[in-house]
Amino acid sequence: MNIKHRMRVIFVMVIAAMTGLNVCSEEQGTATNLPAMNQNLTQMESMQNTTESIRKKEQLNMWMTANGHRFEVILEDNVTTQALIAQLPVTLHLEELNGNEKHGQLSGTLPTDEKRLGIIHNGDLMLYGNQTLVVFYKTFSSIYSYTQIGKLKQPEELQKVLGSGNVGITFNKD
C-alpha cells in the first residue's frame, strides 16, 4: 500500500471517528454509538479490499498478437503468471505440435504449479515444464500436467489465425 493511499485511509478514519464522537456527545453515552462506528470502519475496509481486488484483476491481463490478430488473455492469479508479466513484452516463435497446440521456449524459467487437468480447452495458455509456453487451439483430453497461466477471452478464431504451421506471437501488457 503506498503512502498516499495510507494517508487517505487514515484521513477517512479520523473523519469517521470525529463524526462518531460528535454524535456520541449529543447522545446519552458512547456505548450506543460504537457498533455504528465499527460498522463504518468495516465498510471502509471492505471497500478498500474491493478496490485492491479490482486493481489486482486489472493487472492480471495481457494481450497476445498473432498474424495481425489481437487476443485478450485473462490471467490466473499465481506466481507463474506474475513472473511472466515481469518479462513482458515477449515475442516467441511457436512451433506446431499434435494439431492442437503451438509451443515455444521462454528465455528463462518460470516457477511452476503443475496439475493434470484432464481436459485442455481451446484458448488455454499454459506452461509445460518450467520454460515452454503453450497456446492450445483445440479442446481435447490430456494426461499431461501443466501450470495454468490464463485463457484467451475469445478463442473461436484462434485455430484459423494461428494456421497449420509455426507462428510468431507477441505477448504484452497493452
What pLDDT was estimated at residue 140?
Answer: 96
- The 3-state DSSP class for residue 174 equals coil
Give 1: exposed, middle or buried? Use CB within 10 Å, 0-12, 13-18, 19+. exposed
Residue 6 pLDDT class (50, 70, 90 cuts): low
Residue with the bigger pLDDT between 172 and 47: it is 172
Question: What is the pLDDT at residue 103?
Answer: 98
- The model scores a pTM over 0.85: no
User: Looking at residue 60, what is its pLDDT?
Assistant: 76
- The reported pLDDT for the residue numbered 174 is 82
The pLDDT of residue 84? 96
> What's the angle, vertex CA 84, arms to CA 78 and CA 85, rounded to 5?
90
For the cut 80, the answer to whether the pLDDT of residue 90 exceeds it is yes
**Whether residue 170 has pLDDT greater than 70:** yes
Which one, of 35, 9, 13, 33, lies nearest residue 21 by Cα?
33
* pLDDT tens per residue across span 12-68: 555 555 555 444 444 444 455 555 555 655 565 655 554 454 444 445 789 999 999
The Cα 99–Cα 67 span in angstroms is 18
For 61-172, give the CATH class: mainly beta
Q: Count H helices and E strands in the chain, helices first.
A: 4, 11
